């Protein structure tokens, strides 16, 4: 990464002053009441947490390496090698059908049935793919099943049974899946016992382990205890991070635990670690989210004094703030400054800015940055950028402009994703074009883009509100017939748009 000259922070200070508006939300339209997930656009936190990783780090490789290094012997390596070879021979249909048979046994309630014996009688070859498939299915069921304790019970039974099978050994990844199942069921004590088992068996606890624990225990008020344990433990494999503190900051940022980020930062300084740009980015985001604007500005000054140059993600955060505060001129100055110091703005920077300006109600500035400034910088909009613009036009009720942008992106070879279709279907419904909205649902399916639950919910709710009850029921039936989100049908039938 090139070394950027220090940011002229006076540009930023003068542009958005000492007051930054609150409501630092993600890439979505707050005016339509949708979360950033609804529009399928990443959050600032997501991009910052991604910056805490090395550019080419492969998490699947981390799982393999940590598994091979666990037990420290050649037997496990040999077992994994054999397992991987057998996995490649096993077709997707084979292990999925075997996983289904296993699940059928696990879900049987007959008291006289010895499930472990029944699983042995299947005589299936237990591989990493098979274990992953079964645990993932149990995790999905646990997320919506009312009897979560039962789901965690059958998950534990399968986990224990599979771990005893010949030529198979659990990996860090399988432990993580089991931890997530226990987390969904609220089995925090069992989850901690599983972590202890991992450590006893020689498996390293990784940044992913921390992330799962902090997501679960954060809600139970145990977040600080989790952090303290990971700071002190010698078994914490914080690769690919520089040190354990950056790994912990990454996990806290992912779950939006901003107050604990501040505490971890203080502990980091106490331990004698100098913050790098990754730590500063996490802390800047936390300070802004907590509305501690004076601290935010002091951090920028501190970065300058310590010779820490802003990076891609720092500028992305600043552009988001300027967009949300509706400061297009200041944002333009910052973009020009970035180019002057050799940090060329990317499509992500423009997407971030356009999203903020859109939600501030300044669609004209959005059009300027989208049609003119982005092209001047040699950037071409991708599907996410188009989706932001389309959503902005729909919020501003410029429906014909949204349709024009949709046609343009298709002509330029950008394939709409499920979130683009969601915005378009919502816009067509808002403009009363229910025939076209239903046709677009069929179009996205015919092109292999499966609608998510939000697409169905948005379309059904608009049809219901318009009195098109027959059509709304047809969409629900279509969803059920195709086996999609059947467990969420009650939410659609109860949902009414405010």
Query: For tokens 């907590």, what's the residue?
Result: 290
Residue 256: per-residue pLDDT: 81
pLDDT of 318 over the 90 cut: yes
- Ordered by start, the domain boundaries in the chain are 309-415, 433-497
Q: What percent of the chain has pLDDT over 70?
A: 77
Q: What is the pLDDT of residues 332-348, one digit of tens each?
A: 999 999 999 999 999 99
Token pair of 190, please?
A: 């069992």
Q: Give the residue from 449, 377, 375 showing the smallest Cα distance to 419.
A: 449
Q: How far apart are the C-alpha atoms of 29 and 35, rounded to whole Å?
A: 8
- What gap in Å lies between CA 264 and CA 260, rounded to an integer? 6
Q: How far apart are CA 429 and CA 32, in angstroms?
A: 13
pLDDT, greater one: 14 or 438: 438
The predicted-structure confidence for 28-41, as pLDDT tens digits, reads as follows 333 333 333 333 34
Give the confidence band of 48 by pLDDT, cuts at 50, 70, 90.
low
Q: What are the strands, taking DSSP E only, across 201-354?
A: 205-206, 236-237
Cis (ω within 30 of 0) for the bond into 240?
yes
Query: Which whole number is the average pLDDT over 244-271?
Result: 84
Whole-number Å distance between alpha carbons of 153 and 40: 34
Give the integer Cα–Cα distance in Å for 353 and 381: 13
pLDDT at position 20, please?
A: 31
Instruction: Quick: pLDDT tens for 159-209.
Output: 999 999 988 999 999 999 999 999 888 888 899 899 889 888 888 888 788
CA 422/CA 440 separation, integer angstroms: 10
Work out the pLDDT band at 239, boundaries 50, 70, 90: low
pLDDT higher than threshold 70 for residue 155: yes
CA distances from 297 to 14, 260, 300, 328, 398 (A): 11, 20, 5, 20, 37
Higher pLDDT, 361 or 250: 361
* Contact (CB, 8 A) for 353 and 386: no
Strand partners, 206: 237
Structural domain 309-415, CATH architecture: Alpha Horseshoe (1.25)
**Does residue 404 carry a pLDDT above 60?**
yes
What pLDDT sits at residue 437?
94
Give the pLDDT of residue 207: 77
Q: Counting Cβ atoms within 10 Å, is residue 111 exposed (0-12), middle (13-18) or buried (19+)?
A: exposed
CB neighbours of residue 55 within 10 Å = 8
Q: Which of 216-230, 309-323, 400-414, 433-447 has the lowest mean pLDDT?
A: 216-230
Tell whether the model's pLDDT for residue 497 goes beyond 60.
no
């Amino acid at each position: 990464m090139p070394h950027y000259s220090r940011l002229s922070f006076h540009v930023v200070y003068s542009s958005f002053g000492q007051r930054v508006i609150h409501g630092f939300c993600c890439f979505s339209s707050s005016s339509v009441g949708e979360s950033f997930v609804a529009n399928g656009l990443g959050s600032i936190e997501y991009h910052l947490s991604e910056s805490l990783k090395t550019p080419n780090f492969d998490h699947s490789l981390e799982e393999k390496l940590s598994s091979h290094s666990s037990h420290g012997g050649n037997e496990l390596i040999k077992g994994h090698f054999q397992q991987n070879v057998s996995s490649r021979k096993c077709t997707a249909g084979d292990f999925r059908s075997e996983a289904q048979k296993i699940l059928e046994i696990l879900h049987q309630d007959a008291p006289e049935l010895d499930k472990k014996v029944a699983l042995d009688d299947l005589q299936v070859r237990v591989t990493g793919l098979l274990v992953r498939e079964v645990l993932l299915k149990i995790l999905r069921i646990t997320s919506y099943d009312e009897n979560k304790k039962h789901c965690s019970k059958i998950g534990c039974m399968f986990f224990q049974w599979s771990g005893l099978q010949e030529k198979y050994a659990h990996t860090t990844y399988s432990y993580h899946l089991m931890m997530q199942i226990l987390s969904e069921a609220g089995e925090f004590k069992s989850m901690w016992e599983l972590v202890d088992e991992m450590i006893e068996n020689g498996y390293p606890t990784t940044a992913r382990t921390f992330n799962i624990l902090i997501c679960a225990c954060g809600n139970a008020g145990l977040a600080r205890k989790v952090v303290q344990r990971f700071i002190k433990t010698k078994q914490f494999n914080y690769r690919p991070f520089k040190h354990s503190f950056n790994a912990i900051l990454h996990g806290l940022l992912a779950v939006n635990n901003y107050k604990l980020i501040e505490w971890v930062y203080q502990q980091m300084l106490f331990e004698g670690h100098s913050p790098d740009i990754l730590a500063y980015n996490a802390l800047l985001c936390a300070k802004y989210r907590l509305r501690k604007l004076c601290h935010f500005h002091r951090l920028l000054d501190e970065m300058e004094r310590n010779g820490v140059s802003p990076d891609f993600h720092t500028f992305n955060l600043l552009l988001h703030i300027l967009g949300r505060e509706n400061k297009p001129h200041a944002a333009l100055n910052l973009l020009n400054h970035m180019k002057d110091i050799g940090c060329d703005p990317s499509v992500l920077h423009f997407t971030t800015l356009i999203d903020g300006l859109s939600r501030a109600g300044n669609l004209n500035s959005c059009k300027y940055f989208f049609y003119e400034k982005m092209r001047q910088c040699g950037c071409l909009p991708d599907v996410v950028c188009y989706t932001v613009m389309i959503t902005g036009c729909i919020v501003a009720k410029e429906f014909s402009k949204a349709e024009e942008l949709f046609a343009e992106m298709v002509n330029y070879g950008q394939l709409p994703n499920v979130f683009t279709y969601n915005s378009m279907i919502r816009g067509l419904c808002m403009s009363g074009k229910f025939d076209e909205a239903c046709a677009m649902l069929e179009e996205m399916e015919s092109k292999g883009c499966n609608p998510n639950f939000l697409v169905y919910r948005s379309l059904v709710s608009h049809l219901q509100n318009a009195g098109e009850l027959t059509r709304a029921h047809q969409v629900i039936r279509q969803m059920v017939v195709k086996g999609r989100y059947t467990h969420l049908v009650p939410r659609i039938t109860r949902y009414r748009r405010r």
